[in-house]
Every structure is written in C-alpha cells, then in structure tokens.
Structure 1
C-alpha cells in the first residue's frame, strides 16, 4: 500500500455516485439524507483529493468531467463490492444443512443428554449428523482446530481461550435394589452407607470428586466391584445388594430405566455444574452458535449463570 495515495472516505464515494446519477446537489442531498452545504463540502474534499473539478455546473445541471466519467465505473464496483460484503454474513440453515457436529461428552452425558439432543437435532436438521466423542487430553486442541465443535460435562481442564456456559447443577444420590434387605427408603444413614458393599465407577471427573471427598472425610467404602463407566451399572445394582453413588442426573435416569430406588447420599459430597465449552475461534460461527443454542434450550437451568470466557 502506497502511503502517498490518500484514502477516500466511503461516504464521499457514495456522494460521487449519487451526484453522477442525479446531476443535482439538491437531489443528492435528499437522496443521502444530508444538507446541501454538507454535500457541497464533501464535493470540495473530493475535488481536492482527486485534483479535478469532477462536476461542472451547466444549465442542464452538474455535469461530470472526463475524469469523473473515467472513475465512476470503478467507484460503483467498489460500492457494489462493499454492499455484497455487508450482505454476505454467513448463515446456518439447519433444515438444509449437511454437516457433522463432533461433541466431546462424558460417559454420563451419553445416557442423559445425547438421546434428547439427537432427537431434537433430527427434527430441526434432518441431514445433520452427530458424533459423540470421548473426553481425552487432546480435546482442547481438537476444539481449537475445528475437529470438534463442543464439549459437554464437568471438564475443568478447558481454560485459556475457551468460552463456557453453565447448563445445570448436580448433587449426589445413591442407587440400590428396590427390595434391598437392609436399606429402608428415606432412612439411609451414613452408618448404612459404610456398612454396605459398593460398586464404583473408576473414570470421570465427577468420580474423582467423590473419591477425594470420602477420603478427606475418612469414610471407608467397601468397593467390591469397579466399572469403567455407567453402561453395566443398572444390571449390577438390580441383581445384587451393592450400592452405587453417582450424580443425580445420571442416577435418576438409570433408576427409571432399571426400576431402582434413589436414596439421598449421606456423605456431603460437593455439587458441580455441567457446562458446555467451545473455543473462542468459533464463538461467532453460525453453525456453532446454533448447536450451542440447541443445547441451552434443551438442558439449561434458567437460573444458571451466563456465558463466561475463561
């Protein structure tokens, strides 16, 4: 870019175009919503910058000089290009979209959130596909690069460069067989909790919070069976006397499926917030905005906190 060439204000280019079309300072002022003195001042600036009278007053009105005639085509190309640029904001039309969204989810979210999300997306965007990806250490890079679109769950590792939005809060419950011989509904005490044998989940940030809390409080759990995820948990609890401790959302979902009883957890385990996370690069991407809005509409507790950037 040559610093010796003066930049022409876009408003002055519009003035030049309008004056060429109308041949009248008065009508140009009306067309642009300006006063006649303002138009005259603008024309004076253009004459100075371009080194030419540009228009000459005649009985037939303001007539363009040869320099103006040579420039007007280029001026209109510039103005037309700017109009197209302003009108070409990307849009996402879910009904016609053909793409795949990749979402990092916790094991629990596969059971509690994904069915509702998939059903809703199918209804609004029948050609859109979803992939539920397992949370792993490389997901931050995948979200930054666009290989993935969103992450759902308790994911404290997504920090610098990410936005987050709270969806709903979680506390903790226990699950047991509905006819457990030693557990009485609504009277499940810490003594009962310590006495019973447990089935535990070995993965997930929520389970790490559980393990840290029982250890800190000196609660001795007799965990006789460990599972990598929630998939086999309903069958285990419904056919044994084992007790499971897990977040309320997944706990109540599994209880409904397997006919289990839900008990208040007698250990005061800190609650947590399930959030959706996305990278700042895609904060204004129309497709990402749409997907986030769908998740918020489906899952957000309306008292939850607003969008935050970490």
Structure 2
C-alpha cells in the first residue's frame, strides 16, 4: 500500500481501535463514534489496503495476516505521533540526561562557562557538557545542523541568521605578575610602551590588536615580543615572567597571582553574545540552559 494520501489520521485511529477490540461496537465506544461510522471507516480501510483486515468469527472479528502485521507498527507510529504533537512538558533539571554541545574559545570557557558550571552540575547532575572549539565561519552551519546547541562570539562580527542574547560588555586591563618590578604603580604611557608585551592571536602569529590600533592613533607603538594562540597560555606566561599583557577584565578577576591595573590609554572593549538556532529556541531544556548562563554572568 503506497497510497498513503488515501488514509487520513481518523482512519488509522479506527484501525488501531479495531485491532485492539476485534469488535465494531466496542471500537465505536472507544472512539466515541457511532457504529455505522466505524463500519464506513472499515470499508475504506479495506479498500485502501486491498485486504479485508477483519473477518467475522465465533467471538467477534478475527484479524487477517495483513492486519496482524500492521498491529505493532501502527501502534508505535500513533504513539510517536501523539508524543510529537503533545504540549511540551516543563523541563526537570534533576531528572535530565541531556548532553549539551557548546562552541567556545578558551576565553568564553573561563569567563562564561566556568561561572555557570557549578549551578548546572548542582541542579542537573545527570547532564553532560561538551565544549567544542569555536570556529566562527562554521558556527551558523553547526547550529543549523544540530552539531552545537549554543555558541559564544563577540557581538561585532557574530554569524548572521542565529538567535542572539548579549551577555555583557568586556573591558581591557593591564596584567603583570604580582612581583613584577613595575607593579608598584600604574605605568606612564611611555613606560607602558617600553614593557615587553605578550598578545593572543587566535589565527596564529599576529603581533597587533586593538591596543596597537589605539596606540597608533596617538603615534605610538608598544613592544610585542610574544604571540600565542590561547588566553590560558598567555596568563601562565604573564604570571611567571616579566612580560605583561592587555587582557579582558573577566579573565583575570580574582587572580591572586597577577597585578591588575587600568592601562594608561583607553582601549575599546567588546560585547559578548550567546548564539543559538531558531530550532532550539522554544525547547524547554535549551531555555533552561540559557537561563543558567545568563544568571551566571550577572545580567
């Protein structure tokens, strides 16, 4: 039977009831229909399947071999359809077993995911969180195909076509080790330029950033002597050498190994945004995860 368009849902529900009851009258009562209406449905089903489906017997009706073969697949299909159209139930984090996949840089791991992790683990202990490398050109496709649930990116330059929630605005501070020879007071602009700087270059090998752009506008330049691809490596280097770095403030907040101070020039910050696809927007579990992240970062 390959003419599925000839069968509407009401006919399939009637067939399911007939296969369960083996009796037109009882099937009609179960469906809240009249007996003649169920008889009409049975006639249409016999025509559609090219099989009598149910035959008269000594104790009601006996299913044919075709009807017996239909019974379990039809029941499973109707149960699946009922679940698909049922109203979404509230998310219960204590009973959840989801695996969430998040695209994040090591900065976002530290500044966004780490603050949210304690609440997620406490409230939803059966869930798991997988952090994937954030590759901006892939984010929209990964979200659309369900490969990631959430991604983090600066608002400027964020991939288009995704739902977005601004999380916070970030500013830059000057970081150096606590025992650095220049840690006693805020350096002058000249002293700042003379210090040895380490910079994060996500694409690899870059020696300029927004700080250098701000200095260039004033006709100045600093000494960038090291370029690394990750913030965590940069912080380790700053904590154990006399190199300094301009770093996002949230990344070093509360770090006792570092001396943090305002830089001697204004450097533009940025805004961090949480991104997700429309297909996940109304999912109760996804909504709960987004709420935990928003609450953790303090907005």
Q: TM-score range by the shorter chain?
A: 0.5 to 0.7
Q: How does 1:201-216 map to 2 (within 5 A)?
A: 201-203=200-202, 208-216=209-217
Is 1:177–2:188 an aligned residue pair? no
Structure 1 Cα separation of the partners of residues 98 and 202 of structure 2:
31
Q: Give the aligned length.
A: 224
Q: How does 1:2-81 map to 2 (within 5 A)?
A: 70-71=36-37
User: Which residue matches 2:281?
Assistant: 283
Q: Is the 1:153–1:276 Cα contact (8 Å) retained in structure 2?
A: yes
- The alpha carbon displacement at 1:293 in A equals 0.9
- The alpha carbon displacement at 1:104 in A equals 1.1
Q: Is the 1:183–1:192 Cα contact (8 Å) retained in structure 2?
A: no
- The alpha carbon displacement at 1:73 in A equals 11
User: Which residue matches 1:118?
Assistant: 117
User: Which residue matches 2:237?
Assistant: 236
Structure 2 Cα separation of the partners of residues 113 and 166 of structure 1:
12
Question: Greater shift after overlay, 229-238 or 241-250?
Answer: 229-238
Q: TM-score, normalised by structure 2?
A: 0.66
- The alpha carbon displacement at 1:174 in A equals 0.5
Q: Is the 2:93–2:124 Cα contact (8 Å) retained in structure 1?
A: yes
C-alpha RMSD of matched pairs (Å): 3.0
Give per-residue Cα distances to partners, 1:106-139, cap 9 Å, x unaligned: 2212223333322221111111100111111212
- The 1:98/1:182 distance shift into structure 2, 3 A limit, reads closer
Q: How does 1:114-263 map to 2 (within 5 A)?
A: 114-136=113-135, 137-154=137-154, 156-185=156-185, 187-203=186-202, 208-253=209-254, 255-256=255-256, 259-263=257-261
Structure 2 Cα separation of the partners of residues 101 and 87 of structure 1:
23
Q: Is the 2:139–2:159 Cα contact (8 Å) retained in structure 1?
A: no
Q: Is the 2:177–2:258 Cα contact (8 Å) retained in structure 1?
A: yes
- The 1:109/1:189 distance shift into structure 2, 3 A limit, reads same
Structure 2 Cα separation of the partners of residues 163 and 127 of structure 1:
27
Give per-residue Cα distances to partners, 1:132-181, cap 9 Å, x unaligned: 11111212100111110001242534343211112111111001122322
Structure 2 Cα separation of the partners of residues 260 and 268 of structure 1:
21
Gaps of 5+ in 1: 1-66, 75-82, 302-310
